[in-house]
């Protein structure tokens, strides 16, 4: 992806817009620091990765998970 400084972007705005419309995004930088990304309006949004199930197969839930500490809790309330 090309990085264009603001002065060049002002000078060549029409050409840069045509370039972005054809599917060639670019970045406008100010003093060397990237400030904005220019893409075509109909460019699809990047797909965000799903985090659901990222530990699948790496941990194990015990069978008695719902009863863990059951006696300690009962003792705390019942005395």
Hey, which CATH number is domain 2-40+52-78, 3.40.50.300, 3.40.50.150, 3.40.1620.10, 3.40.640.10? 3.40.1620.10
Whole-number pLDDT of residue 1: 83
**44-79 burial: b if 16+ Cβ within 10 Å, else e:** eeeeeeeeeeeeeeeeeeeeeeeeeeeeeeeeeeee
Residue whose pair of structure tokens reads 């500490």 in the numeric block:
69
Domain boundaries, the chain: 2-40+52-78
Q: Is pTM, for the whole model, over 0.75?
A: no
Structure confidence at residue 36 (pLDDT): 94
Task: Give the separation between CA 43 and CA 26, rounded to whole angstroms.
Answer: 13
Q: pLDDT below 70 — which residues of the chain?
A: 79
Please report the pLDDT score of residue 79 as a whole number. Answer: 67
Q: What is the per-residue pLDDT across 28-50, written as a single tens digit (0 to 9) for each? A: 999 989 999 999 988 777 777 77
Helix, strand, or coil here: 17? helix
């Amino acid at each position: 992806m090309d990085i264009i400084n603001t002065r060049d972007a002002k000078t060549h705005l029409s050409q840069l817009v045509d370039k972005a419309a054809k599917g060639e995004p670019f970045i406008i930088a100010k003093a060397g620091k990237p400030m904005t990304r220019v893409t075509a309006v109909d460019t699809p949004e990047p797909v965000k990765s799903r985090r659901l199930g990222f530990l699948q197969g790496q941990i194990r839930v015990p069978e008695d998970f719902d009863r863990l500490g059951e006696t300690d809790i009962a003792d705390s309330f019942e005395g």
